[in-house]
Structure 1
């Protein structure tokens, strides 16, 4: 029997038949739900609900003193947030329709099949979880404040999209559902995973592992461990990272590189909460929260059959996509300051000053390596700095903004030109040259050196073109 995904759910069962209470309770506990509250006298339910809350309520229709219909009406009025599953021997469509109209989430006819009951409860849990998350997210957006600011202290940003991601993380972090983090290399996926762990309040450790390059045997050994003698060289039992992450979080980076066999093993862990160490036929249970990350296009991998569709949908219970640095350029000045300070402390230097042109220059670079690349560039500039002033040349030596457009951006540029609608009379090359120079100067905030770098020409060549443009403009003015 597959275990339920979450051990924290609580279920109340209201039924006047003692045997039914025992049977349903046994089914739930065998399925991983240990918090089961039994109510044989329906009159006790309102009193119980004042004392404690339940994730789901199983309700019999035919009971003495108070009928299930009366209780269902009461619950829909007073406790609409609790999903109610009706259990009854009455096999009538009219009765089922009436119960659903009154707010029941499902209607099951006795004797209820085990799989149908568990499936119905799972569905109710999921609907309840989604409602709670939507309400929580709405509240966060309305309040526009972060409850766990300290959890995001390592993520330097002033970007509104990133702030929206933080609000989303505050809502989902306390659930036990898997999280899929996508984004380009260097966008900070592990920092996001650590923030989720901090907010979750889990007492266990945060365990991170990069699964890229691991074959199926290495993946199993790393995560699940092995028994002595499982293979040549296994001279003693070894505890896997899954065990070390118990009560905490297991972060798997580069999940897109997993083999088909390893994907299947991970899927089983997510579904059943159990795994087998290599060489052992005794299952071990786990309650570790699984967070995965990839810089690959996971949707494309699924469509091409390179990644299991069932695993993808399991992992995508919560999905966070991190924007690249080129889409959050307002973060460049604050990250520059932060990395200069950090680099200076690590090198035992006084933080150097820098001209404002440095920021303008960096803002015109696409950063294919994102934040990680910016950090490397700043560390290199600070390390090579021999004075208390960082010149623009220190950055020009490392990056060339004229050649900074990566393949993705180039395709976007081509797409832009293909979609352009030129007038019937095409502009001349000189006219286009004027427009390009004007745009480059705007982006460079008037700095001719940076504008020349953007255009991929020397400053002298730009000066010549500007001189021609100014001369042409003056001739036009004086000829009028």
Structure 2
């Protein structure tokens, strides 16, 4: 198993951290929005660890509380109606391996208390039994919630949070790692085409630009689903922007595309009209210049040489303009 190449600085730091963390037995708390790849990262940590046991995932938000307790800790025959034979829980199955507790922030107070006890005592008791079963398990947990906020509002146990938050890793949303979208899109294209036995399809530069500019509320999962849909439904080997059908993005992109073809129309929509009273051209030009100076500084994270290059200026001229508008 491997992690995809990244051009994003945050992800590079995360990869470096994972390499240090993986060989240890420390608990890791993976934070991030839905679809950012938390389980993939958890699997990679387990894969790179020295643990001989299995990787056992469970989604704490997908199972009702009464069933989740039995799934996590197991049960004995006759423990409840329908328990016709004994069954080990996820913790027992993960012995000598790793348990991945996805959406840990959705655990009920009762199960939070029981999980805390298991972490502290390193043993479980099946439902319907008072016999303690020792388990040697590494815990990886993940959530899309702000657990510190959940603790402050009394919805998550502080002591459990401290137990889980040994090594926190926060995954950025896809909209904050746009430079990785081409890598991910090409990876999913190749993977899905190979899986379906289809000749590999390609994205046009306009289609790729649209993917890069889309905000991806569903993150990597949404991108993968879109690529799969395109591979299956597209009749051509080349996927263009018109094939994408990105929600709430189509109209905006089409307008931008059509305006770009007609500079006069673009300026008409972007700039104020000249009224009978006239227009203050110098003020308008100043406002435009200040806007782009600030934007360049924002994109370059304050690095003036890089910001100047973005605007096609040398560093000296750029700094003079900053001083002119009191931006330094």
Mapped partners of 1:399, 1:382: distance in 2: 18
Q: Does 2:210 correspond to 1:361?
A: yes
Mapped partners of 1:469, 1:163: distance in 2: 38
Q: Secondary structure at the match of 1:291?
A: strand
CA contact (8 A) 1:211 1:254 kept: yes
1:399 to 220, 226, 247: 247
Mapped partners of 1:465, 1:166: distance in 2: 42
How far has the Cα of 1:175 moved from its partner? 2.4
How far has the Cα of 1:154 moved from its partner? 4.3
Q: Does 2:1 correspond to 1:198?
A: no
1:370 to 219, 236, 244: 219
Q: Does 2:67 correspond to 1:244?
A: no
Shift of the 194–222 alpha-carbon distance from structure 1 to 2, 3 Å rule, reads same
How far has the Cα of 1:203 moved from its partner? 0.3
Mapped partners of 1:465, 1:176: distance in 2: 58
CA contact (8 A) 2:37 2:220 kept: yes
Match of 2:307 in 1: none
Shift of the 351–232 alpha-carbon distance from structure 1 to 2, 3 Å rule, reads same
Mapped partners of 1:322, 1:360: distance in 2: 23
After superposition, residues 238-277 of structure 1 pair within 5 angstroms as 238-277=87-126
How far has the Cα of 1:327 moved from its partner? 0.8
Q: Deviations over 1:108-166 (max 9, x none)?
A: xxxxxxxxxxxxxxxxxxxxxxxxxxxxxxxxxxxxxxxxxxx5x24453322212111
CA contact (8 A) 1:216 1:261 kept: no
Moved over 3 A (4+): 213-216, 457-470
Match of 1:466 in 2: 267
Mapped partners of 1:240, 1:167: distance in 2: 33
Q: Secondary structure at the match of 1:208?
A: strand
Match of 1:317 in 2: 166
How far has the Cα of 1:453 moved from its partner? 4.5
Q: If the length of structure 1 is used for normalisation, what is the TM-score?
A: 0.53
Q: Does 2:300 correspond to 1:452?
A: no
Q: Secondary structure at the match of 1:238?
A: coil
Match of 1:181 in 2: 30
How far has the Cα of 1:362 moved from its partner? 1.4
CA contact (8 A) 1:156 1:335 kept: no
Q: Secondary structure at the match of 1:174?
A: coil
CA contact (8 A) 1:220 1:277 kept: no
Mapped partners of 1:389, 1:357: distance in 2: 11
CA contact (8 A) 1:400 1:453 kept: no
After superposition, residues 211-226 of structure 1 pair within 5 angstroms as 211-226=60-75
CA contact (8 A) 1:364 1:401 kept: no
Mapped partners of 1:197, 1:174: distance in 2: 8
Mapped partners of 1:343, 1:213: distance in 2: 27
Q: Secondary structure at the match of 1:346?
A: helix
Q: Deviations over 1:322-370 (max 9, x none)?
A: 0111111110111111111122222322112332111211121110111
Over the aligned positions, Cα root-mean-square deviation in angstroms equals: 2.7
Worse-matched range after superposition: 333-342 or 351-360: 351-360
Mapped partners of 2:232, 2:192: distance in 1: 8
CA contact (8 A) 1:225 1:238 kept: yes
CA contact (8 A) 1:186 1:373 kept: yes
Report 1 or 2 for greater relative contact order, CA contacts < 8 Å, sequence distance ≥ 6: 2
How far has the Cα of 1:177 moved from its partner? 2.3
Match of 1:21 in 2: none
How far has the Cα of 1:246 moved from its partner? 0.2
How many residues are paired up? Answer: 275
Mapped partners of 1:385, 1:213: distance in 2: 33
Q: Secondary structure at the match of 1:201?
A: coil
Match of 2:189 in 1: 340
Shift of the 237–270 alpha-carbon distance from structure 1 to 2, 3 Å rule, reads same
Mapped partners of 2:99, 2:45: distance in 1: 11
Q: Secondary structure at the match of 1:239?
A: coil
Mapped partners of 2:254, 2:182: distance in 1: 19
How far has the Cα of 1:228 moved from its partner? 1.0
Q: If the length of structure 2 is used for normalisation, what is the TM-score?
A: 0.77
CA contact (8 A) 2:206 2:240 kept: no
Mapped partners of 1:211, 1:383: distance in 2: 32
